[in-house]
Amino acid sequence: MIAAMGYEHILLELEPPIATLTLNRPKVLNALSPELIRELTTALAELDADENVRAVVLTGGPKVFAAGADIGDMADRGAVDQLRRDQTGRWAPLAGFSKPLIAAVNGYALGGGCEVALMCDLILAGETARFGQPEINLGIIPGAGGTQRWPRSIGKYVAMEVMLTGAPVTAQRAYELGVVNKVVPAEMTVGLAQRMARQIAEKPPLAARMAKEAVLKAFDSPLTEGLASERKSFYFLFATEDQKEGMHAFLEKRKGVFKGR
Ligand code: DAK
């Protein structure tokens, strides 16, 4: 059963155990206005709290993912104004989303739009997808994690190229660089991302959460700290009903049914 909930700048389709969020300002190529960001992060916080939702797809629709922050909104702002608005903090419900989050990207994912995709856990790209950080053309640099997440994902040199030339990379190149999981025909991107979300939603949700946390930990901690944290999560999972169910289901040759308990 699909429930569609009304926001002005995004669409939310709730289809437990998955949900799909669609950025919805097509006239300005889904430019990320403060209102859109507010709606998106509010919806994400609600989905994070909803026990019936186990994985989420984030897309911009068939032609464009998002062409970045709203340039019209930023053009005449000052530094202190930007600091006070704390847009980085506002992305916390996305960067800190505890459930698997899959970006389904068609067309442009530029600037803040690309950074939104990079904050997701998996990226499915339609053949038309273009990923880039063109901020340099506007006299700024990425401000929502681009300068950090690109090099952590692909290393220094191509990241420098992306930041310094502002030229977008194609879906195929992004795949070769390892920032994209799969390149698929554009009309299939969202459907395949939803299928992947459903597959993941069948897994024990606490194990999925711990796996996500552990992989993200690898990005910002030394190896010994990451390994210690992984081990603690591993032990913790032995306190869950899902671990008992998963192992007994295997031994009894049946499919496990997981409750997130
Ligand atoms: N903002 C506002 N409007 C935009 C837009 C944007 N980012 N991108 C496109 N549009 C609007 C265009 O102005 C145009 O509007 P109308 O003229 O029809 O009224 C409409 O969308 C269609 O765009 P085009 O006519 O340009 O379409 P084309 O197919 O010819 O070109 C394009 C598509 C994506 C190549 C082009 O639109 C483009 O270059 N767009 C700008 C891309 C860009 O520079 N993106 C980076 C923005 S800066 C922060 C953290 C992060 C950020 C900011 C703050 N804090 C922590 C505070 C992020 C910054 C950015 O993302």
Q: Block means of pLDDT (10 residues each) for the chain, length 261 residues? A: 71 97 96 94 96 97 93 91 77 94 98 98 98 98 96 97 98 98 97 98 98 95 97 98 98 96 95
Distance (angstroms) between ligand 1 centre and the Cα of 260 equals 41
Is 116 within 8 Å of 71 (Cβ atoms)? no
DSSP character for 168?
A: P
CATH topology of domain 2-201: 2-enoyl-CoA Hydratase; Chain A, domain 1 (3.90.226)
The ligand 1 atom at the shortest distance from the C-alpha of residue 110 is 45
Could you tell which of 71, 90, 137 is best to mutate to test the pocket of ligand 1, judged by most ligand atoms within 8 Å of the CB?
A: 71
Distance (angstroms) between ligand 1 centre and the Cα of 142 equals 14
Domain-wise residue ranges, the chain: 2-201, 205-251
Do 2-201 and 205-251 share a fold? no
What integer pLDDT is reported at residue 81 of this predicted model?
A: 87
Distance (angstroms) between ligand 1 centre and the Cα of 239 equals 48
Best CA proximity match to 225, nearest among 236, 234, 233, 217: 217
**Helix/strand/coil percent split, the chain, to 5:** 50, 15, 30
What integer pLDDT is reported at residue 1 of this predicted model?
A: 42
What integer pLDDT is reported at residue 42 of this predicted model?
A: 95
What integer pLDDT is reported at residue 82 of this predicted model?
A: 85
Q: Give the active site residues.
A: 69, 112, 115, 135
| Superfamily of structural domain 205-251 | Lyase 2-enoyl-coa Hydratase, Chain  A, domain 2 (1.10.12.10)
